[in-house]
């Protein structure tokens, strides 16, 4: 089983016995109480770093090297032998056409015999003298119309006929069957091992890891994936237009601390009646939904680099807030089908699978699922309750890459800050202490823009401009305000009229230490 967990199936677990859910809920509550004691383990790992399995041959174990070598040999033989894809379709079609033509010939012969018999009967009635001794005539000319033309003989000759059809097909298409496609590829990576492309090993290792290095299973998985991509017409899917109705249901945004592209899956969007009617109400729309989700996956893969030392997997963020309930069977079926396709055809393409806004009952689901998961899969799963979303995401994603709705400072279509501006600064504010941030403004007419956020807030916050000239007055930009836990990140712009400095003051009046993040940009005056 790959890291893509069937989120839609989780809905079904809501109907599990209340006792199981209650027990899991009690465990979670107990863990929350234990968080005050630093000596006790927290639910989510503290470490923000994680390493994917190496794709360098020198780092592989012996049995892994052997499995990779065997898979490459099988793949080389299949490509050069032209047996990677199904070959029986044309032959079956030709046989079917041949049989249909034979049936039509028999029907035509039978019709002619019936017409001749009717003619003889009419002749006997109208001119009996001219039609004397019909029985003798019949004896002289065996009744060719009395029965269909030699069915038993045809049945005996049918295998020879089929063989002849096969020979005809091979004679008609000698060049097509003999032609070998040495350029077979997946995700832009050539699959013919003898080409010596280092990315080929990276891709094949994904299929091997998905099947626990069982060579035959990995080879069959690869064959099925290639066949599916051909039938699903993946080569043209990036050019298809699906409209903007599902744009908020899943999208690519930002990178994690290791550079993995991030894909957000917002399942609550599918519970909206208007969006449901536009995107999932009919079978045709559900098929379009499927192609749209596969297209998004292909777009994410475009950002990957399948070099041994490259970024070759994504981080999946799954928001379970307001997920569709059991009554939305069509939604559940559509999501199930999409997840199944991703599991079967995109192996080991998730570096982490993070579930946020996880309800209590989901922990019961996870506890039931865990025994059936491999260690590789379990190591990639992370779960966060609604109160721990930002804290959990920060372990893997920098604050400037976390969207503001999840407690970060990343804004949609932000024209002020970009990746080139670097990471936000981080400051820890102890209980009862005050943190002051100073931004110098040496020139008049300079515009300053800053972002600031305190995790969990519950602090007092003030913004001031303090001029360099002691005879000038301090200007209050934001008077002292108690910032509550539901406050959005601060984004302010200020243009000074004289040299000085901007002073941001944060007083921690809560009983816990706080993490503060900030960044700023200076736009000098143009004369």
Which pLDDT tens digit goes with each residue over 80-124?
999 998 765 444 444 555 555 555 555 665 666 566 656 555 555
Structural domain includes residue 462: yes
Instruction: Determine the pLDDT at residue 110.
Output: 60
Asked if 152 and 215 sit in the same domain, the reply is no
State the average pLDDT over residues 304-324. Answer: 95
Angle, CA of 301, 400 and 352, to the nearest 5°: 40
Structural domain includes residue 345: yes
Of the three residues 178, 197, 219, the one that is the final residue of a domain is: 178
Percent of the chain scoring above 90 in pLDDT: 59
Residue 114 burial class via C-beta count within 10 angstroms: exposed 0-12, middle 13-18, buried 19 and up: exposed
CATH number at residue 306: 3.40.525.10
Instruction: Determine the pLDDT at residue 156.
Output: 44
Asked if 171 and 200 sit in the same domain, the reply is no
CATH number at residue 456: 2.60.120.680
Of the three residues 162, 178, 194, the one that is the final residue of a domain is: 178
Cβ-count burial 484-502 (b if 16+ within 10 Å, e if not): eeebebbbeebebeeebbb
Instruction: Determine the pLDDT at residue 192.
Output: 97
Asked if 189 and 318 sit in the same domain, the reply is yes
How many DSSP H helices and E strands does the chain contain?
15, 15
Asked if 343 and 435 sit in the same domain, the reply is no
Task: Provide the residue range defining the domain that includes 163.
Answer: 88-178
Asked if 305 and 443 sit in the same domain, the reply is no
How are beta strands 425-429 and 514-523 bridged, if at all? antiparallel
Per-residue model confidence as pLDDT tens digits over 423-479: 999 999 999 999 999 999 888 999 999 999 999 999 999 999 999 999 999 999 999
Asked if 302 and 262 sit in the same domain, the reply is yes
Instruction: Determine the pLDDT at residue 176.
Output: 45
Per-residue model confidence as pLDDT tens digits over 405-431: 999 999 999 999 998 898 999 999 999
Instruction: Determine the pLDDT at residue 118.
Output: 61
Give the up-direction half-sphere exposure of residue 195: CA atoms within 13 A in the CB hemisphere: 17
501 touches 520 (CB < 8 A): no
Instruction: Determine the pLDDT at residue 62.
Output: 97
Structural domain includes residue 455: yes
Local confidence band at 512 (pLDDT 50, 70, 90 cut-offs): very high
User: What is the greatest pairwise CA distance in the chain?
Assistant: 143
Structural domain includes residue 415: no
Structural domain includes residue 103: yes
| CA distances for 34 relative to 37, 38, 142, 501, angstroms | 5, 8, 101, 43
Of the three residues 397, 412, 439, the one that is the final residue of a domain is: 397
Asked if 345 and 472 sit in the same domain, the reply is no
Asked if 348 and 391 sit in the same domain, the reply is yes
Asked if 361 and 441 sit in the same domain, the reply is no
Cβ-count burial 272-298 (b if 16+ within 10 Å, e if not): eeebbeebbeeeebbebbbbbbbbbbb
Per-residue model confidence as pLDDT tens digits over 337-361: 999 999 999 999 999 999 999 988 7
307 touches 254 (CB < 8 A): no
Instruction: Determine the pLDDT at residue 377.
Output: 86
Asked if 172 and 189 sit in the same domain, the reply is no
Tokens standing for residue 69 = 């070598």
| CA distances for 12 relative to 58, 286, 318, 366, angstroms | 44, 20, 17, 12
The contacts of residue 323 (CB under 8 Å, 6+ apart) are 7, 10, 11, 267, 268, 270, 271
Percent of the chain scoring above 70 in pLDDT: 72
Task: Check pLDDT > 60 for residue 258.
Answer: yes
Task: Check pLDDT > 80 for residue 131.
Answer: no
169 touches 94 (CB < 8 A): yes
Asked if 343 and 390 sit in the same domain, the reply is yes
Task: Check pLDDT > 50 for residue 12.
Answer: no
Asked if 199 and 334 sit in the same domain, the reply is yes
State the average pLDDT over residues 372-396. Answer: 91
Q: How many domains does the chain have?
A: 3
Average pLDDT, the chain: 81
């Amino acid at each position: 089983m790959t890291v893509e967990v069937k989120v839609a199936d989780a809905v079904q677990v809501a109907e599990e016995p209340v006792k199981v859910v209650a027990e899991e809920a009690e465990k979670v509550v107990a863990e929350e109480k234990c968080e005050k004691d630093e000596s006790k383990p927290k639910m989510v790992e503290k470490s923000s770093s994680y390493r994917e399995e190496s794709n360098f041959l020198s780092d592989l174990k012996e049995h892994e090297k052997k499995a990779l070598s065997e898979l490459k040999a099988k793949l080389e033989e299949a490509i050069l032998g032209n047996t990677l894809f199904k070959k029986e379709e044309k032959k079956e079609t030709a046989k079917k056409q041949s049989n249909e033509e034979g049936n039509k010939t028999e029907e035509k012969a039978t019709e002619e015999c019936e017409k001749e018999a009717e003619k003889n009967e009419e002749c006997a009635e109208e001119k009996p003298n001219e039609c004397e001794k019909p029985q003798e005539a019949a004896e002289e000319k065996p009744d060719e119309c009395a029965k269909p033309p030699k069915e038993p003989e045809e049945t005996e000759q049918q295998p020879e006929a089929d063989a002849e059809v096969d020979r005809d097909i091979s004679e008609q298409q000698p060049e097509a069957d003999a032609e070998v496609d040495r350029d077979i590829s997946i995700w832009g990576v050539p699959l013919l091992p003898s080409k010596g492309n280092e990315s080929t090993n990276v891709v094949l290792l994904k299929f091997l890891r998905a099947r626990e290095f069982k060579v035959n299973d990995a080879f069959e998985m690869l064959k099925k994936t290639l066949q599916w991509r051909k039938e699903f017409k993946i080569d043209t899917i990036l050019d298809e237009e699906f409209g903007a109705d599902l744009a908020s249901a899943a999208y690519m945004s930002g990178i994690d601390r290791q550079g993995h592209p991030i894909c957000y899956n917002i399942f609550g969007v599918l519970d909206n009646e208007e969006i449901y009617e536009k995107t999932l109400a009919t079978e045709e729309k559900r098929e379009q939904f499927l192609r749209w989700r596969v297209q998004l996956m292909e777009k994410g893969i475009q950002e990957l680099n399948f070099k041994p030392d490259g970024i070759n997997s994504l981080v999946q963020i799954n928001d379970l807030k307001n997920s569709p309930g059991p009554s939305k069977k069509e939604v559940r079926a559509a999501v199930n089908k999409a997840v199944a396709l991703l599991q079967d055809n995109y192996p080991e393409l998730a570096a982490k699978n993070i579930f946020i806004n996880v309800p209590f009952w989901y922990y019961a689901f996870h506890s039931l699922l865990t025994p059936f998961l491999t260690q590789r899969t379990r190591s990639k799963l992370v779960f966060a309750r609604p109160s721990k979303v930002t804290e959990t995401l920060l372990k893997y994603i920098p604050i400037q890459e976390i969207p503001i709705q999840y407690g970060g400072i990343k804004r949609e279509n932000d024209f002020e800050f970009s990746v080139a501006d670097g990471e936000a600064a981080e400051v820890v504010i102890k209980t009862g202490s005050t943190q002051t941030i100073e931004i110098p403004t040496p020139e008049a007419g300079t515009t300053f823009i800053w972002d600031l956020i305190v995790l969990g807030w519950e602090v007092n916050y003030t913004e001031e401009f303090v001029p360099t000239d002691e005879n000038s007055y301090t200007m209050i930009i934001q008077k002292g305000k108690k910032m509550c836990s539901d406050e959005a990140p601060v984004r302010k712009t200020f243009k000074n009229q004289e040299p000085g400095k901007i002073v941001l003051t944060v007083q921690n009046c809560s009983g816990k230490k706080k993490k503060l993040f900030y960044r700023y940009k200076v736009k000098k005056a143009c004369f």
